[in-house]
Amino acid sequence: MFTRLVELIVNAAPMSFSRASEEVGKYVDAVAADDFVDVLEQIGTIPEAIGHDTTEEKLFAKASDAVLSRAFREIGLKSAVLRERADSADVQAESPIFGYTLVADAKAFRMSRTAKNQKDFKVVSLSGWRKDADYAVLCSPYFQYPKSESQIYAHAIEHNVCLLAWESLIFLIKRGIKENVGLNLSPIWSFSQKLSQTVLLADKKRCFLDDYNKAFLSVVAHSSKDFSSLLKNQIAIIEQRGYLETDFWNNERATIMKYSKEKAINELIKTKKIDEKIQQIEKFVKGLCCE
């Protein structure tokens, strides 16, 4: 189903952006539950075939918003994608049982993307977009979060922004976990605020994903073994995507090699940074770890 979503994005690109966005949103909302999980498992990776800074890339971002909104609905919240994009979060959600509200921003990255920084995650901006909402949630691929120290962790703690992973939502949905009168999910969204009360100043930039995972699993009453199993499955999915994305660039290289002038060929390869992109994908896949 993810492949069909990408095809829809490509086919809808010539339409007006508003209409294309509507078509993408309708598809995400209508896809069957089992097929939605397939989309959710892959939405965090932008296909290499989608050009940088293109209409297709912007539509993929809209698709990720729609997927995040539906994921919130799948776990028992009311949620919608916000049409207003300027100085605003992309998604809003509300608990029909406990009454809290949250705003959220969906993130997806290319495997070929090199080092990411705090500007890529926009943690501080998301906090500002919270406005009257109780919580602010950033949803990014688990394996794209920095593994050691990063300013984004300090920003999350300072501004009470939840660093959620697509994989956490996959876990909840696959396990059939939904918010109910006996299960309030708000401690998941407020983890950074709780951590801010105990973390030392010297440790603010430290990656806290392990601590977050423990708190997350405690809320939903599951073990780390259960989550590790899901991460291993996700690694297998990402590895398969890695092969496909590498194939895309190898095919691009083959096309270029058919050009007539050798110098032009070499320059084009350098311009597209194909070797670097392939190396980055391979490095990313080899570095996957669920420990």
Give the integer Cα–Cα distance in Å for 70 and 238: 22
**pLDDT for the residue 86:** 60
Judge contact between 71 and 173, C-beta under 8 A: yes
Give the integer Cα–Cα distance in Å for 226 and 9: 34
**pLDDT for the residue 82:** 86
CATH number corresponding to 2-222: 3.40.91.70
Question: pLDDT (tens digit, 0 to 9) for every residue of the chain, 291 residues total?
Answer: 898 999 999 998 889 888 988 999 999 999 998 899 999 999 999 999 998 888 999 999 999 999 999 999 999 999 999 876 666 778 999 999 999 999 999 999 998 876 566 677 888 888 888 888 999 999 999 999 998 889 999 999 999 999 999 999 999 999 999 999 999 999 999 999 999 888 888 888 999 999 999 999 999 999 999 999 999 999 999 999 999 999 999 998 888 777 777 777 887 888 888 888 999 999 899 888 876
Q: Which is nearest to 49 in space by CA: 59, 57, 40?
A: 57
Is residue 180 left, alpha or beta, with left meaning phi > 0 and alpha meaning psi from -120 to 50?
beta
pTM confidence score: 0.87
Task: Output phi, psi for 118, to 5 deg.
Answer: -60, -30
Residue spans of the domains in the chain: they are 2-222, 230-286
Q: Return contacts of 223-228, CB within 8 angstroms, 24+ apart.
A: 226/171, 226/175, 227/171, 228/290, 228/291
Distance of CA 253 to the CA centre of its chain: 29
Judge contact between 218 and 224, C-beta under 8 A: no
